[in-house]
A and B are shown apart, each in its own frame.
Chain A
Amino acid sequence: MLLFYINYIVPLSVLIPLVTALINFKYLSKPFKIIFWFVLLSGVINLICIILLEVLHKQNIIIYHIDNIFEFVVLSAFYYCFQNNTGRKAISWILVIFIILYIVELYFKGLSVNNTYTHSLSAVIIIAYCIQLTFKQSEKDDKINWGDDGINWINTGILIYFSSGLFMFMSANYFLTASQFMIRLIWTIHDTILFLQYVLFAIGFYKCKTHPTISTY
């Protein structure tokens, strides 16, 4: 049952935000479109991982490395949309430094283990982006409810996923030697948070019509 949940239900739940986004596609502004492509490509990567592991019985850790970099770059692009000039420059520099650090860690640790330091670092940076946007949104002189702004839902989804998953990213290498039960338990928790993120994204896409893109640029 747990395997079915991890292997089928959660990966397929990616369709919830994707369908919602496609229905409202003409209303999606740039940040929403970035999240749409993020969800779509995450879904594809997830699918490739499942095929490699379950069908071809091969290691999928290389795909995880690609996913980690892709995830950080796309989410940085999302938060880039809400920054002023200084913020945009800072994000560009963060991206360059992150990619260099990732390659350095990869060089020292090899391809067969998780890049726990840089992956955890990326999660911490994304949490910082989320908190900054939360404060920015609360200072906005808008006349709409928190729930009516789609960006708030998407930001919340990202914040919950990365902050809850941070401990898992940090200890990812320990799980390589853990018992099957523990691995499944941890993945079930992770997938539940991922599912919650997708649901929050879907609500965000649904509410996108009421959202005028804010930018201090």
Chain B
Amino acid sequence: MQNAPDNIYILVILGMSGTFLLVTSFILFSIRNQNKLLKQRQQFQQAEIAHQKSLLHAIIESQEAERKRIGQDLHDDVGTSLSGLRLMIEMFKPVTDSDENYDSFATSSKSVIDKIVKDVRNISHNLSPTTLRYYGLVAAITEHCTIINQSGKLEVTLINEADQLLQKLELPAATAIYRVLEELLNNTIKHSGASKANIHFLGKGNALSIDYNDNGKGLQPGTEKVMSGMGLQNIESRLLNINATFLTASYSGKGFHTNINYPII
């Protein structure tokens, strides 16, 4: 019996189908593999970010603790010693009652000591704002704004429409926001040439929104350079540490504006 010859066309069709299946499987396998790798890489990056965040948290915490310690030391030790020195000068009696040199020496010494005491108190408050600890964020910011307004360098207006939310604010977050606003005000005074600045606290659901703007020259073109400066980096790291976001608008010549959004859980 003679075998029937193979039909070449059927073999070609089978070959085409088989290759199609093989190639499709190869591609699907490659896609799965690549996406799996991408997922692993993303997980690794997320873990790395979380680790860096915890390191940042530890740095900021220790920085705050150190500031608090130095502030307290300045206030308690240096402040007390200066007060003692002032008292000693006051109590010191010269040999003759009508010594004009002594009177002028005592007056000028006391005024120098008063200035040093005031400066030490300011430095101490800046390092560790007691108002923030005892009366909350708005009180501390108000106090800071009052000092700035009194200096005549800048006119700062504070509007608070988030009283209830601010009550729930914990100290680490309040400290971070205080430091950020302090830095922003500092930048406005130093670099913007502004005469007015506004701070607006607003509650948006469970999120605290803080609008900050001034009427200075704003961010100049080439903002990347400005953004990489230490001040703004500090702002970024402090906000990142409390999971807050911020958006900075650059309107050159129309002032500086930034919005901070902090979700309070």
Contact = CB atoms under 8 A, between A and B. Distances in A.
A163 B27 CA distance: 12
Interface residues of B, number: 22
Contacts of A182: 9
Contacts of B33: 138
B12 A167 contact: yes
B247 interface: no
Nearest to B31: A146
Contact of A174 (B9, B13, B41): B9
Nearest to A127: B23
A134 interface: yes
B84 interface: no
Interface stretch (B14-22, B102-110, B146-154, B191-199): B14-22
A165 B23 contact: no
Interface string A166-181: 1110110011001000
Contact of A186 (B9, B19, B27): B9
Nearest to A156: B27
Contacts, number: 66
A159 interface: yes
B20 A159 contact: no
Contacts of A165: 16
B20 A193 contact: yes
A189 interface: yes
Contact of B23 (A152, A159, A189): A159
A163 B8 contact: no
Interface majority SS (helix, strand, loop, mixed), chain A: helix
B160 interface: no
The residue among B24, B35, B37 with the most chain A CB atoms within 10 A of its own CB is B24
A67 to B, nearest CB: 19
Contacts of B37: 138
Nearest to B45: A143
A147 B31 contact: yes
A189 B13 CA distance: 8
B52 interface: no
A163 B38 contact: no
Contact of B16 (A137, A142, A147, A167): A167
Interface string A146-161: 1100001000100110
A130 to B, nearest CB: 9
A44 interface: no
A17 to B, nearest CB: 18
The residue among B15, B20, B38 with the most chain A CB atoms within 10 A of its own CB is B20
8 contacts: A138-B30, A138-B33, A138-B37, A144-B38, A156-B27, A160-B23, A168-B16, A182-B9
